[in-house]
Structure 1
């Protein structure tokens, strides 16, 4: 966000001063101010040093924006200055470097890939029924159900089915392998990114995580390569249905899996945790679904327009637990918990997104396109998330079905779900969400 004033005659341009910055230590900079949970640490620093601050994390420098006004300045007035994304510490270990979409430089390639995603991959709702067989099996057997695993499987299989037809949904073992590799890549990449603080020394990979990441990606690549060859053989032999929705091939698969699997899954885990901890909201949502959908079928995507409280629940989850973070950190976690913009900002209150709630904007203004700069769960502008609409379809139907079909009892006799936040870059829960499902709806 550096700008220059108009120079006087025979004088050099005078640059604006950098944003305020906390006192730094030699070599490590501000690393001593960053705790285990990154969102909390940045929120505390923003309260102390204002809506725009500069941090030096070892050899890496970033700027943190934490209010709606500053976010608007970046996303709307200065957008072209921030369209490209820097390479992070793990980039040299990505075998698809140079062909990726999520952090590709802004230009012709990126615009083409975004158009491809929006028109061919992420535009068609595919979920009319949540595949809850494993949850029902746990219910019948009286066993606890790991919703962290179930939601990850749901999002992974949805993306897999879109990118490679029915392959992952039909072949459980292969789906499990892809799911495991995706989780491994995300976990290791988060650790390798810490290498940014070492500057040029990061190439030595002291922790060994860089090579672990490359190994996992190579295993993933072998699966993708196998799918591509099978696809090519179909085309060569003419053994395909011309009316069937075509698969997307090539490197696009890698970015879509990595970017899409964990974020939607994590949001649904937070949703179930908040609803179980707020039984009044849980009952209100179930009553709405029962009234609109009835007892004879599961909630589906086409019902969403008639379920305002379900929409409000998902919006409130995305406000409280956003997953997006970038190097120029438009810090949506702080923006969407700003007490100047939100009443009781740290409380779970879906009602704030209903018409007539008393909030500053009604539901019709609180959309996901990033034009309301107090609500940015999917970012904004050209680099806003292209999968936002698909994510909402998955979350509405899955969370709705879990509330519609089951009551939930906590493992170990606890009264509340532990809502502690983990240290990862996707803002995941600190502990797996493991619950006992109790059948409520007879289908």
Structure 2
């Protein structure tokens, strides 16, 4: 009986200490809105997270914290803060967030989402040297050229017959054809069969990776499938398995017959990468050119001067087409294909007077930075002059200028940057 008061006071002391520590940690987080129990700030977020984060940042500043269900996150829309997070603390934020869908569909061994360790380092070296190195990209040049000529030929035939074209679908087929031939030696432009299934799965995987699963972000719902996510990604997983099994079997058969070799038999991540993002960039650039006929006219004049009118644009022409490259830059600024960069803290990190705890998700709002009048003059206007001026002419997209990061930066930057910056200007100039 005499121990009961002691136990009570010790328990009260421990509980008080924990509460005080929690309050202290909250005070050391960046500014944040008031949160609701369980859901956190979910009630403040719309279907387009980058829009919601942009609206909140106008009130809470360029670095704010947010709670998405049970998950703590921080959001930045400042180039200076982004540089401190992704350059100064590159190792701390060298991880990406995973989810139940990602773990299932990538067999929990994805290069894109793998932790920063020996496997990820090996796969990055394999990717940058064997797959996306300059020598390999040069070997795949005939594939890119042939697919581009097929696209232009299709558009030309439609133009002669007066037919309409769904540019979104055609650009998606074009980019998918390039990636699938580099990886799997199949084209995704056909209707029916393996090609169409490959294209459909690539889009479904991209979509489900970008959606919120309430079971991932609110721990009490982890065992439930409230939105039907688990059913959806298991169905995609089954179909993906079947597709890959057929492809692998065919490749192994051809290898035995010594008719074909395959460098990328085991690299499945890239089937869904670089398709929507590349096609989306060209599509936005074309839309802006249609709405800005003077820019389109100047682009045509540059192409006529450098390339002439007797052949299509080639990748070797791109260094001599600075105006076309500027159109790509401005499209990236105003319409980044991936509006939010996502990272996860591997350890506690001090930024200014704030502490970002281990496990916190980091969101870099590229879309918001592209519309910030403190960074860009007349940010909502499509103006190529901003990159043609002497002060901004050196800004590029390779991860060194933190106000423009369409491919990310640091060790988790997009490994497909070189491929994209050969493919995008050539495609846009050819369509012009």
TM-score, L = length of structure 2: 0.82
Equivalent pair of 1:164/1:247 in contact (CA under 8 Å): no
The more displaced of 99-108 and 210-219 is 210-219
**What are the within-5 Å matches in structure 2 for residues 208-223 of structure 1?**
208-223=228-243
Q: Deviations over 1:266-324 (max 9, x none)?
A: 11111111111111111111111111111111112111000000000001111111133
Secondary structure at 2:67 match in 1: strand
C-alpha distance in structure 2 between counterparts of 1:205 and 1:330, whole Å: 29
Unaligned runs of 5+ in 1: 1-11, 404-443
User: Is contact 1:192–1:210 with CA below 8 Å preserved after alignment?
Assistant: no
Counterparts of residues 22-421 of structure 1 (less than 5 Å) = 22-92=33-103, 94-123=104-133, 124-125=137-138, 126=141, 127-128=144-145, 130=148, 131-132=150-151, 133-165=153-185, 167-168=186-187, 173=192, 174-240=194-260, 246-250=262-266, 252-253=267-268, 255-324=269-338, 325=340, 326=342, 327-354=361-388, 357-358=389-390, 360-362=391-393, 365-403=394-432
SS at match of 1:168: coil
Question: Comparing 145-154 with 96-105, which one deviates more in the overlay?
Answer: 96-105
**CA distance in structure 1 between the aligned counterparts of 2:76 and 2:202, rounded to whole angstroms:** 30
Shift of 1:194: 4.6
> Residues of 2 paired with 1:107 and 1:39: CA distance?
30
SS of equivalent to 2:74:
strand
CA distance in 1, matches of 2:244, 2:101: 21
SS state of the match for residue 61, structure 1?
Answer: strand
More helix by share: 2
Q: Distance in 2 between matches of 1:116 and 1:385?
A: 14
Counterpart in the other structure of 2:31: 20
The normalised TM-score by structure 1 is 0.80
**Kept after mapping to 2: 8 A contact 1:85/1:103:** yes
How far did residue 33 of structure 1 move?
1.7
CA change 1:39–1:373 in 2 (3 A) is same
Deviation, 1:31, is 1.7
Deviation at 1:353, TM superposition (A): 1.7
Separation in structure 2 between the aligned mates of residue 197 and residue 84 of structure 1, nearest angstrom: 18
Contact 2:102 2:108 in 1 (8 A): no
Question: Counterparts of 2:244 and 2:285 in 1: how far apart (Å)?
Answer: 32
Unaligned runs of 5+ in 2: 1-20, 343-360
Using the TM superposition, give the Cα deviation of residue 89 of structure 1 relative to its aligned residue in structure 2, in angstroms. Answer: 4.9
Is residue 188–residue 196 contact of structure 2 (8 Å, CA) maintained in 1? Answer: no
Aligned counterpart, 2:13: none
**Which SS does the other structure have where 2:241 is aligned?**
helix
**1:169 Cα shift?**
6.0
Per-residue deviation, 1:170: 8.4
Q: RMSD over aligned Cα, in angstroms?
A: 2.1
State the distance in 1 between where 2:113 and 2:217 align: 19
1:324-381 per-position Cα deviation (integer Å, ceiling 9, x unaligned): 3214112222223322221111211122222xx15x332xx32232111121111110
After superposition, what is the alpha-carbon deviation per residue over 1:220-272, rounded to whole angstroms, capped at 9, x for unaligned? 222222221222223333334xxx7x43111x22x112222111111111111
